[in-house]
Every structure is written in C-alpha cells, then in structure tokens.
Structure 1
Amino acid sequence: MQEEPWQLAWTTYRALRLTLDAKVAHDLEAETGLSMADFEVLAETDGVLRDPAEHCVRVNALAVRMRWSTSRLSRQLGRMQQRGLITREACELDGRGDDVVLTKAGRRAIDKAMQVHAALVRTRFADLLSDDQVATFANLCGLLLDRSAASGDARHRTARKGVAPGQRSSP
C-alpha cells in the first residue's frame, strides 16, 4: 500500500527534523560543551535581555516563550545554575517569582555557541539547498505556523507572542 502524499510529507518532515536536531545537538555539545537544552535556555534568555526595555526574565514567562513546562525549565535551570551559567534571583518587581540572570560564564558560553550553532545550521541545512529552496522552505513553515495559529491553537498563538494565556504582557 502506497502512502498518501500528506503521509509521505509528514514522515519525511519528522525524519528530517529528528535527524537534523540530533546531528546539530551532538556537534554543538562536542564543540561547546552545551547541551541543546542549555543552548535553548541561554539563547532565549539572551534574546530577551538584549532588548533594552527588558531588565529581567521571569522563569514562567521564559517557559511560555520556550513552550516548556515550568517544572521542566526549573530542573534545567537548576542544572545550569550548578554549572555557573545562570543565577536565579527573586523578582524585584513583586517578589512572587524568580528571574533568570546570565552569569559572565553564561554570556561567554552563549556568545560562542551562537556562532557554532549558526555554522552547524548552515553546514547541515542551508548549504545543502539553493537560495530559492531555502526561501520556499521558510515560506511553507511560516504558512503552517500561521494556519496552526488561525485554527484556534491558543497556546501556539500566545507562545509565539511570548505571553501565556491569562498572563499580562509585562512582568
């Protein structure tokens, strides 16, 4: 029995995503010592903190932005704190939650890892396609994300904006 075109597209997409994610994660850890989870937390935290309007990153807001559960993020932050990549401090605004702060070691690690990650993505993905193919792929992914958001997936819509359902947009 032959697969339907949508089944072939889905299974090929899954195989591609799993394969590329695994290879990039393996190479990133080999070159930087950071796991992909470390990298994702540092990159997201760094991205927020580079905005001059942001002075802190709340743990719960970071979990929403990353589409992770708060408990998963808290466990990851604990491991990263033990290694000196981040610290957690009581929020100055209301004291009800923790803020994530990059340490100097964390800043150095993400600065290096961003360069390594970009090179890995170019080597394992972008360089294997033409510019037109990259643009087409990006357009298709954007279309699927937009249609997923339009179909009523409230978690997806708010996560793309970085705000959890029922949460205010500012800390």
Structure 2
Amino acid sequence: MPKAFTAGKTKRAPHPLGPGTYKLLEAYRDWQRLYDTLKLLESALDNRILISADYQLGCWTGADWRGELERLPESLASDVGWRVLPGVLALCEYAGATPESAKLASGAEDHASNIVKDCENNRSFIAHPTKQRDATIKRVCRAQNLVRTVLMTVEDSFAAVNVPMSRG
C-alpha cells in the first residue's frame, strides 16, 4: 500500500495542483459513487439477489465487482497520493493563510498516511475471496469503511477551512 500511495504522489509531482477545490471535489464525487456501489452490492448480497455478469451495480457490473473489490484498497491508497492529499493542500492554499488552513495542511500528510495504513491493514481481508455470503458482506462492509474514511476526510477538510463543498 505505501508503494501505491507513493506512486500516486510521484505521478502527481510533475502536475502540481494550484489553489482550488476541483480535484478534491472530483475525488469526492468518484469515491461517493463507489460508496453507493458498495451499498448496492451489500444490499444485493444481503437480499440474496443473483448477481449475473450483466447486473449493474452502480459503477461496477456483476462480471467485474469481485476483481474491483479486491483492488479497492490499493486503488484508494493510490488516489490518496494522487488526488486527495494534493487536493487537501490545494484547498488550504485556496482558503488562504488562516490558523485553520495551516493546521489542516500541517496534519494532512500524517492523516493521509493513516488512511494508507488502514488500506494496508484491511487489504488481505477485503481481497480474500470467499463463497460464503456473510463473509463477502463483511468484506464489502470493510471496503465501505475505507471509502467512508476518505469521504469524511474531504468533508472535514472543507469544514475545517470554512469553504463550501459546492465550489469547484
């Protein structure tokens, strides 16, 4: 996971973000869509709905959800380096020099590292395929928790610097 995070940061380095909110909002919208997909998947599994290959699960299909779920912790760690951390720092610049933005910026790297550690700690559990429905639901719920952490990070970042999320 740290490799995925570092790769995301390295990929971002030649393309630094200027002050603004657009990249953080873009990441938020994408992860919100994925969170909704995970909720839909959990509901389908919980209600014992047969998930055929062409079944639409939000941004996934029945054919690809198992592989996408397996890759989710690494994808999330990479995106924290590529969009979320740089987006939080760009938000701080956009908000101007305030004690709140300085505090958020100074703790952003540590917070991002904690998210990456959570991804690493949950990766083997989420990626471990199982035929047991209850165990699969638990995998999906763990993935939801990881995604929820990123969503809350973005929401809290906007709130900390008193910038509405609707700006972009």
Normalising by structure 1, what TM-score?
A: 0.33
Give the number of the structure whose residues are more often helix, by fraction.
2
| Structure holding more strand per residue | 1
Return the TM-score normalized by structure 2.
Answer: 0.33
Q: Which has the higher contact order (CA 8 A, sep 6+)?
A: 2
